[in-house]
Amino acid sequence: MFPMTPWTRRLLITNVVVFLVTGSYPALAEPFVLYPPRIWAQPWMIYTAFTYMFLHAGMGHLFGNMIGLFFFGPRLESRLGPKGFLLLYFLSGLGGAAFSLIFARQAAVVGASGAVYGILLGFAMYWPRERIYLWFVIPVEAWLIATLLVFFTLYAGMNPGGGSNIAHFAHLGGFVVAFAFLRWWDWRIGAAKRDFQKKMRVEAPPAGLMGDRAALARWKGIPVHGLHELNRGEVMRLVAKAERDGPARLTPPERDFLNRMSKG
C-alpha cells in the first residue's frame, strides 16, 4: 500500500472529527448542509457548497468516503503535489455542489462523495490498469470501475425512483470537474515542459561573452525559489555540475539555459 501523505491524512482526520462533533451535537450541522432551495432564496448560504463536504449522514456514509480517500488519495497526492491534490479534491466537491444546485434542486446534500469521486477518477486516469479488489476479493481494473460508476450515476440521476437518498448528481459533478481539472493540469505541466525544452534547444551564446568565474557567480545568484519546479530542478543540477567540474564542462545549450534563467 502507498505510504500515507500529509494532506490525505489531514482530510481524513478532519472528516472524522467533524462527524464525531456533529454526531454529538446534531444542531451544529444544520447551517452547513447544502440545501438548494435555501441557497436560491438566501444566496449568502452559498458557503454550504464548501461546508457540506465535511458532513456525513451516518457511519456507513463516512466509512465509504474515507476508505476511498485512504486508498486512492496518497498516490494521487504524491503525483500531483499538495497544491494539485487539494485543488482536485475541493474543485471536485464544488462541482458536486454545482450539479446538485442545477439538477437536484430539492435535495439536501452532505458528504465528501463528490470530492472522493474526483480522487477516484484521477487515480483511474493516471493508473488505469491498476487492479482494485472489490470487497477485498474481486480484482477490477481502475478504468473499468470509474467507467461503470459514471454510467451508474448517470442512470441513477435520471431515474431517481426507489426512495434513494444518494446524491447521484453530486457524484457526477465530481467526475466532470475532476476530468476537466486534470486535463488542464496535464496541459499546464506539458506547457512548462515544452517551454523548458525550447530553452534547452536555443543556440549557444557567443564565446567570451563572460568569464567562467563571472558566469558561475551569476548562475549561483539565480532566484531558484521563484522558478517553475522543472526549471528550478535543472538550474540546481547544472549549477552543481558547474561548481564540481567547472563551467567549461557545461555544454553550450546548458550554458545558454543558465544564462537565460539568470536574466529572469
Closest CA to 39 of 47, 27, 29: 47
User: Would you call 228 a catalytic residue per the annotation?
Assistant: no
**Contact 48/29 with Cβ under 8 angstroms?**
no
Helix (H) or strand (E) holding 133: strand 131-134
Cβ atoms within 10 Å, residue 77 = 25
- Of the residues 168, 171, 225, 262, only one is catalytic, namely 171
Dihedral over Cα of 203, 206, 207, 208: its sign: negative
Closest CA to 122 of 89, 167, 153, 144: 89
Closest CA to 176 of 162, 157, 190: 157
Amino acid letter for position 230: L
Place of cell 564542462: 249
User: Would you call 171 a catalytic residue per the annotation?
Assistant: yes
- Of the residues 113, 225, 228, 262, only one is catalytic, namely 113
Distance between CA 84 and CA 144 in Å, rounded?
24
To the nearest 10 degrees (0 to 180), the angle between helices 212-220 and 229-245 is: 140
Q: What is the DSSP string of 1-18?
A: -PPP-HHHHHHHHHHHHH
Positions marked active-site: 113, 171
